[in-house]
Chain A
Amino acid sequence: EDQVTQSPEALRLQEGESSSLNCSYTVSGLRGLFWYRQDPGKGPEFLFTLYSAGEEKEKERLKATLTKKESFLHITAPKPEDSATYLCAAAGGTSYGKLTFGQGTILTVHP
């Protein structure tokens, strides 16, 4: 069974204080690793797709990386508007679109 685990559960940063979120996955035949942002009361918002180990994607202050067992979401010089829950999801080799989600990391950035 595919499993995705995220850490830490919650992360509090000062504005400008860079950090990383971790996503560990156990997926048979990984077809993709996905990062989403979720604001309170909203649906997940697509951020990145990573397909193979060594791949990196960037968007503004966010950079996602992938190894054979983990993915990291690096946040550089975060701002208060980056505060949200960040979700990691994986798609296995036999899926027709099924995403297996982690429990998320709640990021709070204080001004």
Chain B
Amino acid sequence: EPEVTQTPSHQVTQMGQEVILRCVPISNHLYFYWYRQILGQKVEFLVSFYNNEISEKSEIFDDQFSVERPDGSNFTLKIRSTKLEDSAMYFCASVYQGASLHEQYFGPGTRLTVT
């Protein structure tokens, strides 16, 4: 069964450094999302992306964050200058064209640790 994949599984970085989290959505999915989950807290929406544009973003998704679909398979989240509070599990999700935008299939996540 096709799955969303994410790399790396764990990223450790120093405060102020740039990080890029990578996701490969399920083939023929056209809507893409990033969420994060700080340890012990709720899963929080960051951004949705369709047709090479951001459709919606949360207050968390400020100028330090950006997303890109650099080719036909990858979907990336970049944090320009990481802060300690960016430490969290980051999940990528995608939706099949024609399905409800909310029936999202999640990847296994990237654990980001900022020291």
Binding site for B on A (CB under 8 A): 31-32, 34, 36, 41-46, 49, 87, 89, 91, 95-104
Contacts and interface: CB of A to CB of B under 8 A. Distances in A.
Interface of B: 4, 31, 33, 35, 41-45, 48, 50, 55-56, 58, 91, 93, 95, 100-109
A96 B50 contact: yes
Name the prevailing secondary structure of the A interface residues: loop
Given A34-B103, A96-B50, A99-B102, A43 B58 contact: no
A91 B109 CA distance: 22
A97 B101 contact: yes
B41 A31 contact: no
A97 B102 CA distance: 5
Contacts of A89: 43, 102
Contacts of A104: 42
Contacts of A87: 43
Contacts of A46: 103-106
B43 A98 contact: no
A65 to B, nearest CB: 18
A49 B91 contact: no
Contacts of A44: 43, 91, 106
B104 A99 contact: yes
